[in-house]
Amino acid sequence: MEYFPGGSLERYCSFQNLLPIHRTIGIVFKCCMALDHAYRQGIVHRDIKPANILVDEQDNVKITDFGLALNINKKLDTDSTFIMGVGSPAYMSPEQIKGYPLNQKTDLYSLGVLLFHMLTGRLPFRASNPAQLVYKIINADPPSVSQLNPDVPEQMDAVIRKALEKDLYSRYRNGAEFAKDLAAVRYQILDEGHVHHDAERFARLRKLAFFTEFEDVDLWEVMRICAWRKVGSDLGLMREGDLDQRFGIVLEGKVELSIGGRRVLEVGPGEVFGEQAWLDQLEHKQLLSAVSLDELSYLEVNPAALALASEEVLERFRRQLGTVAVRRLAAVSRQAAEHAPAAVRAVRAAPVVHDLQIVDY
């Protein structure tokens, strides 16, 4: 076999190792043309994913592992993409998962998933178990690429949507058509040498207690949808009663939270402020005022941007903020109890539970 001095595209699918956008487009463009040529020879690959595409330092591309393509009668449930530890159905087209007859459009769908992954550092469909993942692939729409990575031109959203169309008649007809649209987007990129470096910011967020339960891919997404703010001391950040659902997560410095001119709490690095308005689904009002006590750096979360986040990130924010709210309520309740009268009936022991038996007469 030919020796190819390169590695697979897997190394470029994590957010910290993303290639410049113009290089990603160039690589996928070549993949489009290669698949187009293969189909003209009567070949459908059926297993397009990063591990099966090699690229060298000059971005020359080789598509490998045509084993599934050659064995057309191989049962779907024995395909390598379903084997735990080898791959996942994440790159499979809806028709491939359903076991329908396949043509070249299934490869173009898988290539669209790969393009999405290389542009954002995450897959378009993610779930906690295979059944949920299969459901999303068949029924859900992918998120916007340009929202997950603002460096990506908005024109790319339309390309991704067409590549990931569930309706075969609306999907790209062939690799050449896919490549043509990629070339059009490529010309929209002016600064080819721009590479966005977020490793330092990622490291800072990873150390914060608030993000302990966030996976790395979720944290990279958080960095894309949030704004980094730096302000001086004694600055009003939020005011009690305002219809402002933004909230902040302290990076450096301290914030004083108050109500009715009375201090309630002081929060520092890794702690959140202003979350009550976002959690309140009825009035959306700020319950507390927030003021910076010294020079402050914080991550500002805008609800409009958060609404565009993936379901996984939204769920993690809900869980974390819900936990924060419950703990603060408990702390305030304990403080109030210190100045409250004694309870009429205090709970002194665990309640006695009586077993009931049903007796037939």
Interval 108-144: pLDDT, tens: 999 999 999 999 988 999 887 888 889 999 999 998 8
- Mean pLDDT over 278-306 rounds to 87
Active site residues: 47
Residue 346 has a pLDDT of 63
Axis-axis angle for helices 216-225, 311-338 (nearest 10) = 90
7-186 — its CATH code? 1.10.510.10
pLDDT at residue 255 is higher than 90? yes
pLDDT at residue 329 is higher than 90? no
By C-alpha distance, which of 79, 113, 112, 121 is closest to 96?
79
Taking the C-alpha atoms of residue 43 and residue 66, their distance in angstroms, rounded to an integer, is 9
- Mean pLDDT over 167-185 rounds to 89
SS3 128: coil
Length of the chain: 361
Taking the C-alpha atoms of residue 318 and residue 259, their distance in angstroms, rounded to an integer, is 24
pLDDT at residue 164 is higher than 90? yes
- Mean pLDDT over 52-68 rounds to 87
- The yes/no answer on whether domain 199-338 falls in CATH 3.30.470.20 is no
Sorting pLDDT into bands at 50, 70 and 90, what band is 265? Answer: confident
Sheet containing 236-238: give its strands across: 236-238, 289-292, 255-259, 262-267
Tens digits of per-residue pLDDT, 190-199? 544 444 456 7
Residue 256 has a pLDDT of 94
Greatest CA separation found in the chain? 87
Domain boundaries, the chain: 7-186, 199-338
Residue 343 has a pLDDT of 74
8 Å CB contact between 111 and 134: no
Taking the C-alpha atoms of residue 45 and residue 108, their distance in angstroms, rounded to an integer, is 10
SS3 216: helix
